[in-house]
Amino acid sequence: MLPLVALVGRPNVGKSTLFNALTRTRDALVHDAPGVTRDRNYGVCRLDESRPFALVDTGGIAGVDEGLQGATARQSRAAAEEADLILFIVDGREGASTIDDDILAWLRKVAKPTFLVVNKTDGIDVPAALAEFARYGIKDVLAVSSAHKQGLDALLAKVLAQLPADGDAEILDDDPERIRVAFVGRPNVGKSTLVNRILGEERMIASDVPGTTRDSIAVDLERDGRKYRLIDTAGLRRRGKVEEAVEKFSVFKTLQAIEQCQVAVIMLDAGEGVTDQDATVLGAVLDAGRALVVAVNKWDGQSDYTRQQTEALLARKLAFVDWAEAVRISALHGSGLRELFKAIHRAHASATRKFSTADVTKALEIAYETNPPPVVRGHVAKLRFAHPGGENPPTFIVHGTRLRTLSESYRRYLENFFRKRFKLVGTPVRFVFKEGD
Ligand code: GDP
Ligand code: GDP
């Protein structure tokens, strides 16, 4: 499972600054994609790519500052209680305040592993700042400056040492022919209707995958001779009615499902188009580099007229993921499912395709010769050769010189060129540029 780290602290200590520093994506798979909104509370830290973890900024959820009471405080508390680790953020310039004392008392009740993170230690007497908080009795203390990105490597190393390392093993280690699929989307788009329909059809050969930790849920099934593992979807977790009501839409569980799958099927409600929440989920899929299929559900409820309008709206709103296939389905009537599974297969095949260095270099040469990069302030980038750098998503390592002058639009041109040439559908494509011969 994707571990969860909660940032807790009073307002203004720098929680969101730290959150942003930790969750910024290093190689943005989405280049300022219009239409992608980032959820402000939850994000994934990928500074160590092999060990991503989720972060929740409970400040955005509010509450702790409102006297630790009320509905918002409860959400904050729920996030902290769900977390594997809490980072208690304080302001090294202002020192300990009574609100910090209150939060500390609360954290003692939560009783989770907690690190004290003393922020804003740029340009101040660090030992004196730390001494202020010695009476808190927290063993693990880190001095950082989130704004100046100081101390973050040490923080990251300490966080990773604390977090569980191999929780995914049982979910992930499996038959390479089995495709891991997650159905994600906001509440009420029809996820559980779809999953139940799929499982209902295949009831005889569907089986639970024993969970590894906490509440991880997956189901294996075969369909038309192909093997799938449905990962931790809201549809699979319809059980405790009470818990569900409290849980609402869990961004964290969605992030986990995305992390564990190979193909994310994002479900939309045809009647509602692409909402901000949908765009948030899409952004998370792109950040994770997962293959993507869009399932436009409740197509049965559309008249010919509204269908046309819906098509136009979707084309516009989903232009930034125009490489993903959109399938119209009705989970209720079970229509479009065959097409949906075909799209899942195409996306998976593209995402896991193997390339030879010769093919990749050839593609680069042709792209370069057809349309060389423009001169930028007297400099021009040279692209020399390329080789494959991994799958899921397909990654291409490009070597050359003056690569920093490559414009965003040229990078996009390369991406589209490779997509066309290798007929890649339904998967993000990643380029890594390496300076030198
Ligand atoms: P939050 O309310 O806890 O999320 O705090 P913010 O992240 O919004 O930061 C509050 C203020 O502190 C902003 O003006 C930040 O620019 C500033 N700030 C955050 N981190 C640092 C830091 O490491 N050093 C300094 N000097 N200022 C910081
Ligand atoms: P979830 O929260 O995403 O799991 O959504 P549900 O599966 O609970 O569906 C929410 C509502 O939408 C329920 O009332 C379903 O009956 C309805 N629904 C789901 N799929 C369809 C569909 O294909 N067509 C229509 N008309 N309604 C649907």
What residues form DSSP beta bridges with 434?
Answer: 399
Ligand 1 atom at minimal distance to the Cα of residue 60? 4
User: CA neighbours within 13 Å on the CB side: how many for 168?
Assistant: 21
- H runs (alpha helix) in 230-356: 241-247, 251-260, 276-288, 304-317, 337-351
- The verdict on whether residue 106 carries a ligand-binding annotation is no
At residue 209, the pLDDT reads 55
Please check the confidence at residue 147 and state whether its pLDDT lies above 90.
yes
AA letter at 58: T
Contact call for residues 8 and 88 (beta carbons, < 8 A)? yes
AA letter at 232: D
Instruction: Please state, in angstroms and rounded to a whole number, the distance separating the CA atoms of residues 382 and 24.
Output: 28
Measuring CA to CA, how many Å separate 338 from each of 203, 235, 329, 410?
Answer: 17, 19, 10, 37
The bound ligand whose nearest atom lies closest to the alpha carbon of 198 is 2
At residue 195, the pLDDT reads 86
Contact call for residues 333 and 305 (beta carbons, < 8 A)? no
Contact call for residues 143 and 155 (beta carbons, < 8 A)? no
Provide the phi-psi class of 212: left if phi over 0, else alpha when psi is between -120 and 50, else beta. alpha
What residues form DSSP beta bridges with 5?
Answer: 55, 85
Q: Specify the residue for token string 């540029």.
A: 433
Instruction: Please state, in angstroms and rounded to a whole number, the distance separating the CA atoms of residues 409 and 430.
Output: 15
CB neighbourhood size of 229 (10 A) = 21
Q: Does 66 or 328 have the greater pLDDT score?
A: 328
CA 2–ligand 2 middle distance (angstroms): 28
Considering the chain, what percentage of its residues have pLDDT values greater than 90? 58
Please check the confidence at residue 417 and state whether its pLDDT lies above 50.
yes
Please check the confidence at residue 319 and state whether its pLDDT lies above 80.
yes
| Number of helices followed by number of strands (H, E) in the chain | 15, 16
Classified as helix, coil or strand, 432 is strand
Q: Does 285 or 173 have the greater pLDDT score?
A: 285
Residue ranges lining ligand 1, Cβ < 6 Å? 9, 11-17, 59, 119-120, 122, 145-148
At residue 339, the pLDDT reads 97
Please check the confidence at residue 93 and state whether its pLDDT lies above 80.
yes
User: Which tens digits make up the pLDDT trace of 252-265?
Assistant: 888 889 999 999 99
Considering the chain, what percentage of its residues have pLDDT values greater than 70? 82
Please check the confidence at residue 187 and state whether its pLDDT lies above 60.
yes
Q: Specify the residue for token string 């973050």.
A: 152
Q: State the average pLDDT over residues 283-301.
A: 94
At residue 164, the pLDDT reads 87
Please check the confidence at residue 215 and state whether its pLDDT lies above 50.
no
Q: Which residues contact 60 (CB under 8 A, 6 or more apart)?
A: 16, 40, 41
What global pTM score does this model have?
0.84
- The verdict on whether residue 275 carries a ligand-binding annotation is no
Q: State the average pLDDT over residues 212-221.
A: 60
The bound ligand whose nearest atom lies closest to the alpha carbon of 89 is 1
Which region among 145-159, 169-183, 202-216, 386-400 has the lowest average model confidence (pLDDT)? Answer: 202-216
Torsion of CA 267, 273, 278, 283, to 10 degrees: 100
Q: Copy the structure tokens of residue 261.
A: 């799958």
Ligand 2 site, residue 174, Cβ cutoff 6 A: no
* Residue 112: band (very low, low, confident or very high) from pLDDT cuts 50, 70, 90: very high
CB neighbourhood size of 432 (10 A) = 13
* Residue 166: band (very low, low, confident or very high) from pLDDT cuts 50, 70, 90: low
Which region among 51-60, 323-332, 376-385 has the lowest average model confidence (pLDDT)? Answer: 51-60
